[in-house]
A and B are shown apart, each in its own frame.
Chain A
Amino acid sequence: AQSVTQLGSHVSVSEGALVLLRCNYSSSVPPYLFWYVQYPNQGLQLLLKYTTGATLVKGINGFEAEFKKSETSFHLTKPSAHMSDAAEYFCAVRNNAGNNRKLIWGLGTSLAVNP
């Protein structure tokens, strides 16, 4: 069975500081990994994804994440936080084989950016 653990339900950074949101996954098959962002009163928007190939993936709004198989991690980073990055961030995993296409989600991390 697949699962996702996001360490830290709340992360607070200063504007301009590094953002690091942690995600570890468990999967018995090669996973597809995703980060979604949810701004207040809005839906879930895809930030970036890893399917195959390059393990460092870049997404929208300056975010990137690195797939580390040995550590079963897919941490999300951004070099310099902006006030507009304040949102809820969700890591998710999906089976990349067979007919199982559902996303398995982490609990989410709420990012606050302080001026």
Chain B
Amino acid sequence: EPEVTQTPSHQVTQMGQEVILRCVPISNHLYFYWYRQILGQKVEFLVSFYNNEISEKSEIFDDQFSVERPDGSNFTLKIRSTKLEDSAMYFCASSIGSGGSTGEQYFGPGTRLTVT
């Protein structure tokens, strides 16, 4: 069964460093998402991406964040200068479409980012 994969599973970085979190969505999916979950808090939407551009982003997704689909398979989240409060589990998701049953989002296992 096809699945969303994410690498690395755990990333430790120092404050101020740049990190790139990688995701490989399911191959025939067209919509891509990033969510994050700070320990003990709700899962929060960060950004959605379709047709090589951001379709929606949350207030969290400021200029420090960017997303890219550099080739036909990867979907990346870059944090330019990490802060302590960026420590969280980051989930990538993808869906075939945007509405109805095709809008079902499939999630990867997550990348735990720890900023020290």
Contacts and interface: CB of A to CB of B under 8 A. Distances in A.
Nearest to A96: B99
B109 A99 contact: no
B31 A101 contact: yes
Interface residues of A, number: 24
A106 B44 CA distance: 10
Contacts of A49: 104
Given A44-B107, A46-B104, A94-B103, A103 B45 contact: yes
A105 B56 contact: no
A36 B105 CA distance: 10
A107 interface: yes
Given A43-B4, A90-B43, A107-B42, A101 B91 contact: no
B43 A105 contact: yes
- The 10 closest A-B CB pairs, nearest first, are A43-B109, A102-B45, A44-B107, A105-B43, A43-B107, A105-B42, A101-B98, A107-B42, A43-B108, A43-B110
